[in-house]
Chains A and B, each alone.
Chain A
Amino acid sequence: DIQMTQSPSVLSASVGDRVTLNCKASQNINKYLNWYQQKLGEAPKLLIYNTNNLQTGIPSRFSGSGSGTDFTLTISSLQPEDFATYFCFQHNSWPLTFGSGTKLEIK
Chain B
Amino acid sequence: EVQLVESGGGLVQPGRSMKLSCAASGFTFNNYDMAWVCQAPKKGLEWVATISYDGSSTYYRDSVKGRFTISRDNAKSTLYLQMDSLRSEDTATYYCARRGGADYWGQGVMVTVSS
Contacts and interface: CB of A to CB of B under 8 A. Distances in A.
Interface of A: 32, 34, 36, 38, 42-46, 49-50, 55, 87, 89, 91, 94-101
Interface of B: 35, 44-47, 50, 59-62, 95, 100-108
23 contacts: A36-B45, A38-B45, A43-B106, A43-B107, A43-B108, A45-B105, A46-B104, A46-B105, A49-B101, A55-B103, A87-B45, A89-B45, A89-B47, A89-B102, A94-B59, A95-B61, A95-B62, A96-B35, A96-B50, A96-B100, A98-B45, A98-B46, A98-B47
Given A87-B44, A97-B47, A43 B105 contact: yes
Contacts, number: 53
Given A34-B102, A49-B103, A98-B44, 9 more contacts: A38-B45, A44-B45, A45-B105, A46-B104, A89-B101, A94-B59, A95-B47, A95-B61, A96-B47
Nearest to A33: B101
Contacts of A38: 45
B108 A46 contact: no
Contacts of B104: 46
Contacts of A98: 44-47
A61 B93 CA distance: 30
Nearest to A97: B47
Nearest to A85: B44
Nearest to A96: B47
